[in-house]
Amino acid sequence: MRVSAWLRHSCSVSVLVLGACGSRTGFELVAGPPDCTAAKDCDGFGDLCSPVGCVNGTCQDLAPVSCEDNNPCTSDSCDPTNGMCLHPPSTLDLDHDGHRSPLPGKAPGEPNSCGDDCDDSNPMAFPGGVEVCDGVDNDCNGIVDDGAQFSPVGDVVQVSDGTHAEPQSLGYSGGSGYMSVYSAEVDSRTSIYLHALSDTGTSTAPAVKFTPSPADAYGGPLVWIGDRYGIAWSDRREARGRTLNYEVYFNLVNPDGTKRNADLRVTNAEGFSINVALAWTGNEFVLVWQDDGISFSGQDALFAQRVDVSGAAIGGNVRLVDDDNAGQTGPTIAAGVRSLGVVWLRGDAEHHEIMFAPFDSELKALAAPVSLAGMVGTGVYPIIVHNQSEYIIAWYDPESSPTTIYGTVRGELGEEIVAPHTLTKTTMHARYPSILPYGDRSLLIWSDDRDGNTGYELYAKMIDRKLETLTPEQRLTNSIGESIDPIATFGPAGQVGVLFSDDRTGMPQAYFTHLNCLGAVAKP
């Protein structure tokens, strides 16, 4: 009984005999035993940052240690084992070039940014660096490989095995080759594979089966952050019975493709947590995906999750945009200087529109979502990249005739800089844009079936910041079948690596090709 316990601990038996507990009598009450005889008897003893003491038999909180140094460039904390203050830098230098990345929402080098590295994923980029053609903004002037042009090599290499495969991502860690990511079906099970490639696409190590569970796994955006990759994907290992259940997972990947931690399960709700995209802010990862299990309406909705540099979740899942019961699908994300740009589709398969909104580093909207396509049709599968101080967004519209690719430019807070307009001219169908930003221009790669070569081929051209054509179109592939889904990344020696899907041998497989840097870099 609780009452018995209360009596037993509050009044001695002798007091009860003399009078009621706490009664006002002429007798002096006998005090109970002291709370403590020494500090070690007190709760919290041993935490030297929040010390406790025993004063006159009573435990008391003593003055806590204050470690605040009023310096935004340090993360202040106290070590409870010794009471000493810790003031490590609040920003990272993952590429170890002596220059730290800025705080979220700050431009490199601006006051209180606590960092001046324009690209902390590459030690060859820092203020004062010498610009060379290497796919890097070496001198941090906002422009990659100033003035350089590119030439396709005209050679392709199959990088996947299995019954069939889909390219997912292409990473570059600053070495002499690439890390390709694809999902491949082997023995009737689809897994994600990481395969290290040379600068020409040949294998430099056996492909690593990254998701060893027999449950099907898809996705795999891979982001290099200076000393490791982050990767995200969906798989159905948690499915039970006949209810399909895909969950989103995250992990860190070493440069050699080995897994760094146990898989971090990001979602935990029945249904489809799929189509995950990934960005690195300079301080943490942000995942976005579509989810019909978390949303109470059963409709697909956009969710996001922050993950720290060690691969641990920061907080829980966040619903990005509450849009009543409108479907939200196919999100992609890019990290800017002052915001995170997210694009997605709103609506259903028949009636939908492409939406854009900027978010801060804590995933709070900086502006209301806006519809992008507007007068130029509907469009599907938007992509977004950050280019110097703005976002480039591109998509294609399968309902337009001919099917073509559109693009627009938005500022970091959502303002329109370049209105939506066509990026490609075709007589047939243009699809699947991929954009590589150079600061003052961008490389556009896409698929087009206009040449009568039975299927789609890959093409590339440079566009300026107004999205106008700068260079003639160059054809990257030449084969019967579909060359689609290009994924472009900067590679060694100024190369541009391209991973794509091709069914020239009968079934879709992941292939690699590249463009070489031509000409000297123009110096200011």
Partner 1 sequence: MPSFRWIALLGVAACGGSLADPSLVADAGHHRDAGHDPSMVDQMSGVVPGADAATIDAFPVYVEDACADAPLEIPPLECDPFAPNSCPQGRACYPIPPHGTDACHPGRYGTMCLRQGIGGQGSPCSDGTDCVGGFLCVKTGIGDMCVQLCRLDQFGSCMNGRICREVDVTGSEWGGCE
Burial (0-12, 13-18, 19+ Cβ within 10 Å), 477: buried
Distance from C-alpha of 419 to C-alpha of 236, rounded to nearest angstrom: 40
Distance from C-alpha of 295 to C-alpha of 353, rounded to nearest angstrom: 20
Residues 105-134 that bind partner 1 (CB under 8 A): none
Cβ distance to partner 1 smaller for residue 218 or 517: 218
Compute how many residues bind partner 1; rule: CB under 8 A. Answer: 120
Is residue 218 within 8 Å of 243, Cβ to Cβ? no
The answer to the question of residue 403 lying near partner 1 (CB under 8 A) is yes
The answer to the question of residue 294 lying near partner 1 (CB under 8 A) is yes
Identify the residue among 48, 73, 157, 309 touching partner 1 (CB under 8 A).
309
The answer to the question of residue 481 lying near partner 1 (CB under 8 A) is yes
Distance from C-alpha of 200 to C-alpha of 212, rounded to nearest angstrom: 28
Distance from C-alpha of 267 to C-alpha of 306, rounded to nearest angstrom: 12
Cβ distance to partner 1 smaller for residue 62 or 507: 507
Distance from C-alpha of 487 to C-alpha of 496, rounded to nearest angstrom: 10
Please measure the distance between the N-terminal and C-terminal CA atoms of the chain and give it in whole angstroms.
85
The answer to the question of residue 292 lying near partner 1 (CB under 8 A) is yes
**DSSP state letter for 493:** G
The answer to the question of residue 215 lying near partner 1 (CB under 8 A) is yes
Distance from C-alpha of 108 to C-alpha of 116, rounded to nearest angstrom: 4
Residues 245-264 that bind partner 1 (CB under 8 A): 245-246, 249, 254-256, 258-264
Cβ distance to partner 1 smaller for residue 38 or 349: 349
Stretch that binds partner 1, among 27-35, 111-119, 265-273, 512-520 (CB under 8 A): 265-273
Is residue 67 within 8 Å of 52, Cβ to Cβ? no
Cis peptide before 472 (omega within 30 of 0): no
Identify the residue among 126, 150, 178, 272 touching partner 1 (CB under 8 A).
272
The answer to the question of residue 484 lying near partner 1 (CB under 8 A) is yes
**DSSP state letter for 15:** H
Residue 125 three-state SS: coil
The answer to the question of residue 433 lying near partner 1 (CB under 8 A) is yes
CB of 371 to partner 1, least distance (A): 15
Residues 163-202 that bind partner 1 (CB under 8 A): 163-164, 166-169, 183, 185, 187-190
Structure tokens at 167: 């390219």
Residues 38-97 that bind partner 1 (CB under 8 A): 75, 88-89, 92-94, 96
Amino acid residing at 220: G
Amino acid residing at 61: D
The answer to the question of residue 397 lying near partner 1 (CB under 8 A) is no
Burial code of 44-59, b = ≥16 C-beta within 10 A, e = fewer? Answer: ebeeebebbebeeeeb
Cβ distance to partner 1 smaller for residue 345 or 462: 345
Is residue 311 within 8 Å of 251, Cβ to Cβ? yes
Residue 224 three-state SS: strand
The length of the chain is 524
Cβ distance to partner 1 smaller for residue 211 or 339: 211
Cβ distance to partner 1 smaller for residue 274 or 467: 274
CB of 513 to partner 1, least distance (A): 16
CB of 394 to partner 1, least distance (A): 9
Q: From residue 216, how far is each of 237, 259, 272, 378, 483 by CA, in Å?
A: 7, 18, 13, 32, 24
Cβ distance to partner 1 smaller for residue 42 or 345: 345
Distance from C-alpha of 48 to C-alpha of 64, rounded to nearest angstrom: 8
Stretch that binds partner 1, among 4-12, 59-67, 140-148, 499-507 (CB under 8 A): 499-507
Stretch that binds partner 1, among 47-55, 62-70, 206-214, 367-375 (CB under 8 A): 206-214
Angle (nearest 5°) at CA 172 between 265 and 312 = 25
The answer to the question of residue 502 lying near partner 1 (CB under 8 A) is no
The answer to the question of residue 280 lying near partner 1 (CB under 8 A) is no
The answer to the question of residue 456 lying near partner 1 (CB under 8 A) is yes
Interaction pattern, residues 342-381, with partner 1; x per rule: CB under 8 A: ---x-xxxx-x---------------------------xx
Distance from C-alpha of 401 to C-alpha of 406, rounded to nearest angstrom: 13
Is residue 177 within 8 Å of 162, Cβ to Cβ? no
Stretch that binds partner 1, among 39-47, 109-117, 357-365, 505-513 (CB under 8 A): 505-513
CB of 87 to partner 1, least distance (A): 11
Identify the residue among 485, 489, 490, 491 touching partner 1 (CB under 8 A).
485
CB of 284 to partner 1, least distance (A): 9
Cβ distance to partner 1 smaller for residue 36 or 246: 246
In this structure, the number of other CB atoms found within 10 A of the CB of residue 348 comes to: 12
The answer to the question of residue 312 lying near partner 1 (CB under 8 A) is yes
Cβ distance to partner 1 smaller for residue 116 or 131: 116
